[in-house]
A = this chain, B = another copy of it.
């Protein structure tokens, strides 16, 4: 369901071919909901079958090749509103890093947990930077998908459209910072356990 919503949100900004959608996905909505190409193509076809998208064959290249261009329909826009009206069903907890940490005593030595926590910090530091870049891209108006979206919407809505996207990425930053702080606490814990056993 979320992939469908993410694609609707993407295509609501303007028509896309499958390839466009797959590529644009990665640099916009894909930061919040990842999907590989192999999921995007069939989902677009299903969405067209369900009436959420219109599909048009447009020529591609000099030979008789064509590509499929998708446009959001009114039903697609209604589906987006419906999505906003539906409570989320939260996925059950599945957190590798916390699971691993709960069983650090199985590590052959203290160095391994230290490495895992350091990797955790590196991963979420990069995630935080990525989110910050997204926010910078929003503020400087150089995100192409957002630019298309703003062109096709009323000027009085621009403020909130931007505010919501900033807010979503601010959440990613907050999450990343919580993970970094946790892992740093873990490094201190390892330190104190090492010292207490000398």
Number of copies: 2
Q: Does A60 reach chain B (CB closer than 8 Å)?
A: no
Chain B residues, CB < 8 A from A108: 81, 84-85
Number of interface residues of A (CB under 8 A): 73
Residue with the highest number of chain B CB atoms closer than 10 Å, among A100, A174, A186: A100
**A189/B175 contact (C-beta < 8 A), A32-B99, A106-B83 known:** no
CB <8 Å contact, A84 and B103: yes
Residue of B with least CB distance to A156:
B197
CB <8 Å contact, B160 and A104: yes
CB <8 Å contact, B33 and A95: yes
Within the assembled complex, what's the spacing in Å between the Cα atoms of A174 and B153?
A: 38
**Stretch with Cβ within 8 A of B (4 or more), from A48-56, A61-69, A162-170:** A162-170
**A99/B157 contact (C-beta < 8 A), A90-B123, A112-B84, A167-B185 known:** no
Chain B residues, CB < 8 A from A165: 102
CB <8 Å contact, B175 and A99: no
In the complex, per-residue mask of A18-45: 1 if CB is within 8 Å of any chain B CB, else 0: 0000000000010111100000000000
